[in-house]
Amino acid sequence: MTRTDLQGCRILITGGSVGLGREMAEAALARGAEVAVIARDRARLAEIERLGARTFAGDATDAAFMAASVREAKPDVLILNAGAPLAMGPIDELDFVAFSSSWNTDVKAGLAGIQAAFHAPMTAGSRILLMSSGAAMVLSAAHIPNQSLYLSGGYVGAKYMLWFMAHNANAVAEKRGLGLHFQVLVPTQLMAGTELGRKVAAVYADLKGITPETYLESRYGPPLTPAHLGKQVADILSDPRYRSGVAYGLTAGEEPMGLDT
């Protein structure tokens, strides 16, 4: 039986043309949501349009464009997922442009999206989901060695920043009584089914002299697939149990994992 538990829900996703954003878009469309997608490349947007999504071609780091898109799409849910390709290398070799690439896209687009939610404005009861990463847990999760992501440049900090920004935004929304709720999506694994996942796994696997597949399996165990991630995000949006927490880990298991209330 087809689930229609997102019927009537309007969802706007940045970076929804390929990769994880596209999986989230497809899962939401399949469950009855009205979906709109933001990305820059029009050819890739045309593909998701054919699946039934509305599209806005533009740069998610552009605050005016984000506010105009939110005003036009009137989403109940805004997913801030757009991210830069990862610049990798040892800290003594990356220049600041490369080092800060995730800040100049992921964090800048996160800020533009949060501000669009406040200023467009989105209506009371709306949710804004920011895409972080399990990498953001490197200093707090005992099972991740502190130095394990030493080639990932500014990515880890950028993804941690987005998590922190969600808390900042919740504080402002609560003080003003706006009824907006900011949440954080934390994929707990690198995914072989994505370009980013393949690239990072290849670099760390090469250092260990093993294949990317062996690296991913030894590090994470059963794989999290992009399609399963899309389903878990649809569950987070449709199941009232996930309405009030702040951060949810997206895992290979059946259910999202509450990380931060």
Ligand X SMILES: NC(=O)c1ccc[n+]([C@@H]2O[C@H](COP(=O)([O-])OP(=O)(O)OC[C@H]3O[C@@H](n4cnc5c(N)ncnc54)[C@H](OP(=O)(O)O)[C@@H]3O)[C@@H](O)[C@H]2O)c1
183 binds ligand X (CB under 6 A): no
CB of residue 245 vs ligand X: minimum separation in angstroms?
19
**Toward ligand X, which CB reaches closer, 24 or 169?**
24
Nearer to ligand X, 12 or 190 (CB): 190
**Binding of residue 18 to ligand X (CB under 6 A):** yes
Which CA distances in Å does 64 have to 139, 201, 243, 248? 35, 36, 29, 29
Task: Name which of 105 and 126 has its Cβ closer to ligand X.
Answer: 105
Is residue 259 close enough to count as binding ligand X by CB under 6 A? Answer: no
Written as one string, the DSSP assignment of the chain is: ----TTTT-EEEEET-SSHHHHHHHHHHHHTT-EEEEEES-HHHHHHHHHTT-EEEES-TT-HHHHHHHHHHH--SEEEE---PPPP-B-TTT--HHHHTHHIIIIIHHHHHHHHHHHHTTPPTT-EEEEE--GGGGTTT-TTS-TTTTTTBTTHHHHHHHHHHHHHHHHHHHHHHT---EEEEEEE-S--TTSHHHHHHHHHHHHHHTS-HHHHHHHHHSSPPPHHHHHHHHHHHHH-GGGSS-SEEEE-SSSS-EEEE-
Residue 106 as a binder of ligand X (CB under 6 A): the answer is yes
- Any contact of residue 81 with ligand X (CB under 6 A)? yes
CB of residue 124 to ligand X, shortest distance in Å: 27
**Residue among 40 and 208 whose Cβ is closer to ligand X:** 40
Please tell me whether residue 128 binds ligand X under the rule CB under 6 A: no
User: Using the rule CB under 6 A, which residue among 6, 27, 38, 236 binds ligand X?
Assistant: 38
CB closer to ligand X, 3 vs 65? 65
Using the rule CB under 6 A, which residue among 82, 166, 180, 184 binds ligand X? 82
60 binds ligand X (CB under 6 A): yes
- Binding residue count for ligand X, defined by CB under 6 A: 32
Q: Tell whether residue 153 is a contact of ligand X (CB under 6 A).
A: no
- Nearest approach in angstroms of CB 106 to ligand X is 5
CA dihedral 15, 18, 19, 25 (to 10 degrees): 70
Residues at the interface with ligand X (CB under 6 A): 14-15, 17-21, 38-41, 44, 59-61, 81-85, 105-106, 109, 131, 133, 187, 190-191, 194-197
